[in-house]
Copies of this chain bind each other. A is one copy, B any other.
Amino acid sequence: MHNLKTLGDHADPESESTPVLDITTAEAMALLFKALSDPTRVRIIAALVEGERCVYDLAATLGMTHSAISHQLQLLRDLRVVRYRKVGRHVFYALDDAHIQGLFLQGLEHARHA
């Protein structure tokens, strides 16, 4: 199904010099998964899967302070997992792409029966 050859060329299995996955890509992947590695962020993303939410609503829904939510949103923003849109004094956040939702749903499915 998937062509794993793209993970790294193992033409010479004796050579230790060919890493399985280059470190830069591994770091990028780790950052992506870090977005989903905290319960608060998972819950924020769960809320955003249903649609745009402002900070106020997210804080109310999760029962957390606006500050805590805002800090986590900054992190998610830095990781390019969410985008935002200002409307008056509200800032509406949304998932940045379908990949995130796909990972979220796949993780949810795993967690449901594990």
Q: How far is the CB of A77 from the nearest CB of chain B, in Å?
A: 15
Tell me the number of copies of this protein.
Answer: 2
Counting CB contacts under 8 A, is A12 at the interface? no
The bracket for how many chain A residues form the interface is 35 or more
Of the candidate stretches A14-22, A68-76, A82-90, the one touching chain B is A14-22
**Contact at A99–B106, with CB atoms within 8 Å?**
yes
CA distance A37 to B81 in the complex (A): 14
**Contact at A32–B111, with CB atoms within 8 Å?**
yes
Contact with B along A32-48 (1 / 0, CB 8 A): 11111111111100110
Given contacts A60-B16, A106-B106, contact A36 B39 (CB under 8 A): no
Residue of chain B at shortest CB distance from A105 = B2
